[in-house]
Every structure is written in C-alpha cells, then in structure tokens.
Amino acid sequence: MASRGNFSNQFGFIAAAAGSAVGLGNIWKFPFEVTKGGGAAFVVMYLAFCFIFCYPILVAEISIGRNTKQNPLGALRTLGSKKWGIVGILGIVCGTIILSFYHVVAGWSLGYFVEIVKGNFDIGNSFGDFVKDTSPRTMPNVTFYTTIFTCLTAYIVYRGVKQGIELTSKILMPTLIIIIVVLFVYGLTLPHALSGIEFYLIPDFSKINFTVIYSALGQAFFSLSLGMGTLITYGSYLDRKVTIHKAAAYITLADVGIAFLAGLMIFPFLGFMNDGVLDNVEGGAGLIFQTLPLFFQELGTPGKVVGPVFFLLLSFAALTSAVSLLEVAVTYLIDEFKLKRRTAVLIASTFIFLLGIPSLLAHGSSSFFSEFITYGNSEKATDFMSLAEDLANDSLLPLGGCLIAFFTVYIWKKHNFYAELKRGSNLKADGFVIKYIMFSLKYICIPILSIIFILTILDHFLGIQLI
C-alpha cells in the first residue's frame, strides 16, 4: 500500500472532516430543501435523522477507516470478504456522481463572487441567464468557473492530505460562521422577518409526507458526507490517539449547526422579500443565488464587502468538500492500482469533469439535458443534474449508510468495532454512548433505512406509492 500522511492531531482531523461536511450542502442545498419540504417540519426530520441515523454511521465509518488504513473498497474487503468490496465501489461511484455536479454548483458560486466584486448585485435577477450561458465564446462564464474549480480541487488533492485539506478548513470556517451570524442579525431587522423565522422554526406536521421524509434523509447523509466512504478515507489517515466518538460528535454538531445557521440567515430575508408569505416560495437550485445578492444590496455599503466575501467563503467551503469527494476516488486509484498520486488525480479529475458536462448544460443551454427524463409521478421532465442528485443523495447515500451499518454489526462485529473505538478513549463497553451507537446501528439504521430505501425507489423513480 502507498504510504499515507496523517492528520496532525484531533483538531486537524475534526477541522478536515468538518470541512468535508460543511459545504454547498449546508448553505446552498439545505435552505431550498427546507422550502420544498414545507418549512420547519422538514427541519425537524432532518435534525432527528442526523442524530439518530447519521451519528452512529459516522462513528462506524471513521472506525473502519482507522482500523484498516485503507480506501473504502480495500477496507471493507479486508475486514469482510471480497464481495463486500462492492459496497466500497458503490461509494466510489456515488462520490463520483456527486462531485460531477458539485463542481458545477461550486462554479456558480465562484462566478457569483466575481460578479459581486464587480458590483453586479442584479445578478440575483438574472440567475437563469447566468447558468444558461455555457458557450466557449462568452467566457468567462459558468464553463470557465467550473473548470477553474475542478483544477483547484485537483491541485489541493495532488498536494496531499495534510498541507492541503487541514489548512483550508481551519481558517475559513470560523469566518464563514461570523458572516452568516451577521447576516442573520441584520435580516431580523427587516419587515416580515419573523414570518420567515416562523416558517423555518414552527413545524406544521401535516406537511410531512413520504417525499419530505426521504428528502430529509438524503439531505442528512449528503450534508454529513456519509454513506459513500469519505469518512472511511479520512479515518484511514487518523491517528490512533484520537477519540473517535467525540470527534464524530463535534463533526455532527458543526455540520448541523452551520446548516441551521444558514437557514436562520436566509429565511428572515425570504420573509421580507415575499411580504411574509412563504408557503408558495419556489425553492429550487437557484434559491440562494437569486436572493442573497439582493440581500447584500439591501445591506448598502457593507454589502459591497460582505457580499463578495460570502461567495468567496462559500466557494472555499465547497472546495474542502470537493477535495474530500475527490480524495476517495484518488485514494482508491493509488491503493488499488499503485498509481502515483499525480496520475491518480489526473485520471479521476478528468473523468469527473467530463461526467459533469451534462449537469453543466442542464440549466437551459441544452434542451436535451435540461429536460432529460420523466419519472415517478412527476409530469415535468427532470434535468440531468437533478437526476444525478436524486440518484446519489436520496437513494445511494442512505443505501450506503445502511450497508455500512450492516457490515459493522454483522460482519466486522461488535467486539472488533469496540476495540477500535476504545483506542484513544476511556470508553466503557457498557457505557451509554457505545450502547446507543450499537443499538441504533442494529435496530434502527438497518431496518428503517432499508425500508425507506425500497419505498424511495418505488415512490421516487417508479411512481408507486405504498404509503
């Protein structure tokens, strides 16, 4: 196996893993999923899923990685049998699909940074035109920004784990949090802000239906970078001295906390923009891109500074997540094919970039990819990027999580899992934390995630509603 770097200490690991977790999922995706899911009821489901399902699986993934010091495929094969490698492959495939569209949205963020530096706050009103313009003749446009972003991600992964990943996470996240809090406080002073907060925080449980359940579940996995081996890979670089269950708790809290704050930032402003009526807000992939520039404009002169800094930091948050996605494929190529890091990065990035082209074109520039397929109960055609999102987030990630829970409980087995958890901690085998983790993996994650997975495929893709 190729030699591996290590994270310098517990803080470095948490910073890097939280850097993977915190990204477009929290700031771009979470708010629009909340609007699609009917507001606070979605938020409650999301929070519950993060703690009930995701935290235990997070602990399991990190432990598997640290125990084997291998990529997801190698790790599962070593602890289980050859056929368990398929779950590792599933994770790598899923990460590849996610990164292919992640680059595109991150490219939008980078482009917005440039536009807002130029003082073009009106870009909020022309989001549709901005994402549609992909022609090589009108550069710099989204094609240019997506390419730049892909190269940046590749460069950081090429530089290796320690230098690249840790550093970016440690400095940028606190700054991003400060800006979000400032925008939240300012947003509260606007008229109708409270109706936004109400929509976000006071649940109307009659809005919960099966679609809300699987979207909230997919969002929880996506946001925590779970179910596809990112944390197995990061765990493989982890020092034996680190207390895994504590590190996982910090990562979960940081990720959920930032998503929650992002909601607090955007909803008061949405209340203001929609004169207090949020029920009909069309939340889609454009939500933050359409609203935030107007928010910065509303801020007046401070907005000229806060606006560009926000989109720059969002791009960086996306970068630390993209790096963790690429790292999975790269570690796999290095470990399994004995490639040099440089070659592995080149192959993986080029492939993922090409796979992302349909998603780049799926926002109006190609009608084929913009109205790609019609499935389930929907009468409207789904664009290519939404298909990739649906497939990876709502289906493959929870499936991956379920299989990892199954693997930990029945294949790797309790005593081995405990032995790994006990390294670097004074955890007692009969303590509450360990009992909770094991109980959740065995009796909650495995049965419930498998049922939800089956129902999701039936409902979402085949249009068959059993409940």
**Residue ranges that bind ligand PHE, judged by CB under 6 A:** 20-21, 23-26, 98, 222-223, 225, 228, 230, 321, 324-325
CB of 26 or CB of 141, closer to ligand PHE:
26
Q: Which residue is nearest to ligand PHE (CB)?
A: 25
Please identify which residue in the block is written with the tokens 């960086």: 316
CB of 225 or CB of 366, closer to ligand PHE:
225
CB of 23 or CB of 271, closer to ligand PHE:
23
CB of 21 or CB of 313, closer to ligand PHE:
21
Rounded to a whole number of angstroms, the minimum distance from the CB of residue 330 to ligand PHE is 13
CB of 224 or CB of 405, closer to ligand PHE:
224
Exposed / middle / buried, residue 138 (Cβ in 10 Å: 0-12, 13-18, 19+): exposed
Rounded to a whole number of angstroms, the minimum distance from the CB of residue 448 to ligand PHE is 21
Rounded to a whole number of angstroms, the minimum distance from the CB of residue 221 to ligand PHE is 8
Rounded to a whole number of angstroms, the minimum distance from the CB of residue 223 to ligand PHE is 4
Distance separating alpha carbons of residues 191 and 24, to the nearest angstrom: 28
Rounded to a whole number of angstroms, the minimum distance from the CB of residue 318 to ligand PHE is 7
Rounded to a whole number of angstroms, the minimum distance from the CB of residue 230 to ligand PHE is 4
CB of 263 or CB of 303, closer to ligand PHE:
263
Distance separating alpha carbons of residues 135 and 123, to the nearest angstrom: 18
Rounded to a whole number of angstroms, the minimum distance from the CB of residue 72 to ligand PHE is 12
Which residue pairs, CB below 8 angstroms and at least 24 apart, start in 289-294? 289/108, 289/112, 289/123, 289/124, 289/127, 289/130, 290/124, 290/125, 290/127, 291/124, 291/266, 292/124, 292/266, 293/112, 293/116, 293/120, 293/121, 293/122, 293/123, 293/124, 294/121, 294/124, 294/125
CB of 85 or CB of 91, closer to ligand PHE:
91
CB of 153 or CB of 382, closer to ligand PHE:
153
CB of 228 or CB of 264, closer to ligand PHE:
228
Distance separating alpha carbons of residues 257 and 443, to the nearest angstrom: 27
- Rounded to 10°, the helix 55-68/72-79 angle is 80
CB contact at 8 A, 90 and 275: no
Rounded to a whole number of angstroms, the minimum distance from the CB of residue 417 to ligand PHE is 22
- The per-residue DSSP string of 49-60 comes to HIIIIIHHHHHH
358 preceded by cis ω (within 30°)?
no
Distance separating alpha carbons of residues 1 and 302, to the nearest angstrom: 52
- The per-residue DSSP string of 284-336 comes to -TTHHHHHHHHHHHHT-HHHHHHHHHHHHHHHHHHHHHHHHHHHHHHHHHHHH
Q: Which of 398, 401, 426, 430 lies closest to 414 in space, CA to CA?
A: 430
Rounded to a whole number of angstroms, the minimum distance from the CB of residue 92 to ligand PHE is 11
